[in-house]
């Protein structure tokens, strides 16, 4: 199986799938984007949402750790002046080494965690490569790249089970953000991954509540993935 197979799936195609199988108001789900100056999008993949962000005039920081995918991301946003990409793996501790498993769906399901019930939900997706990556916290990334948080206001997370680790490494700056949007499962999709109840309690302790929640994909006997927007009341 080829290791560098890259698919750039337009966000509009993903949303069409979601609306067909889960008829919810996704404009409502992403309405928070109208209330912020920009987004820090962690787990960028190839920047599939870049056109949607650009249409709203948002400042965007993309964070993506996989070298080949990062190069595609950088090419995709090259004509968008308000969007920047950085190649980092974000987690809870600065300097910790991780083994990053690369998935064969353009890297979209790649994770520092092993597959668990993800195999039942997506049996056609496999890990095909591993790379060693040194993690950085969001706080440290902001310091290194001199990111002015006044230009943003929201975090979007899609890091395949490690979202809680990323947020723990962001605690000192989370009060600078009004919204956090993340994809999260209510089951063990990846081995030891954070789950919806745990993540929601963590966010509650930091002053965030669920603003909107919508199912993304589900399987009877396994569970459901959700897109969740946490906001400050």
With b meaning 16 or more CB within 10 Å and e meaning fewer, what string describes 46-58? Answer: bbbbbeebbeeeb
CB 101 within 8 Å of CB 110: yes
> Taking residues 52-59, what's their average pLDDT?
96
pTM of the model: 0.87
| Alpha carbons 214 and 222: distance in angstroms, whole number | 17
> Taking residues 72-89, what's their average pLDDT?
97
Tens of pLDDT, residue by residue over 136-145, are 999 999 999 9
> Taking residues 95-115, what's their average pLDDT?
95
Q: What pLDDT sits at residue 233? A: 85
CB 210 within 8 Å of CB 229: yes
Q: What pLDDT sits at residue 29? A: 83
| Alpha carbons 58 and 176: distance in angstroms, whole number | 17
CATH of domain 11-217+225-231: 3.40.50.150
Tens of pLDDT, residue by residue over 172-195, are 999 999 999 999 999 999 999 999
Residue 1 has pLDDT above 70, yes or no: no
Tens of pLDDT, residue by residue over 64-73, are 999 999 999 9
Q: Tokens standing for 20? A: 């067909």
Q: Hey, where are the domains in the chain?
A: 11-217+225-231
């Amino acid at each position: 199986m080829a290791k560098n197979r890259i698919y750039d799936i337009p966000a509009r195609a993903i949303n069409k799938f979601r609306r067909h199988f889960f008829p919810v108001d996704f404009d409502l789900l992403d309405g928070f984007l109208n209330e912020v100056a920009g987004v820090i999008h962690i787990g960028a993949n190839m920047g599939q949402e870049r056109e949607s962000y650009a249409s709203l005039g948002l400042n965007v920081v993309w964070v993506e750790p996989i070298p080949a995918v990062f190069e595609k991301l950088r090419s995709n946003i090259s004509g968008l002046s308000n969007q920047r990409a950085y190649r980092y793996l974000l987690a809870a501790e600065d300097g910790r080494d991780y083994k990053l498993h690369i998935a064969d769906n353009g890297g979209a399901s790649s994770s520092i965690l092993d597959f668990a019930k993800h195999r039942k939900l997506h049996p056609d997706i496999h890990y095909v490569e591993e790379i060693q990556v040194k993690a950085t916290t969001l706080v440290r990334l902001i310091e290194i790249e001199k990111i002015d948080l006044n230009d943003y206001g929201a975090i979007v997370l899609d890091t395949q089970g490690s979202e809680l680790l990323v947020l723990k490494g962001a605690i000192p700056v989370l009060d600078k953000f009004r919204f956090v949007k993340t994809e999260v499962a209510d089951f063990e999709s990846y081995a030891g991954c954070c789950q919806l109840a745990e993540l929601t309690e963590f966010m509650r302790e930091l002053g965030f509540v669920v603003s909107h929640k919508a199912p993304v994909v589900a399987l009877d006997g396994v569970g459901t993935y959700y897109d969740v927007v946490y906001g400050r009341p």
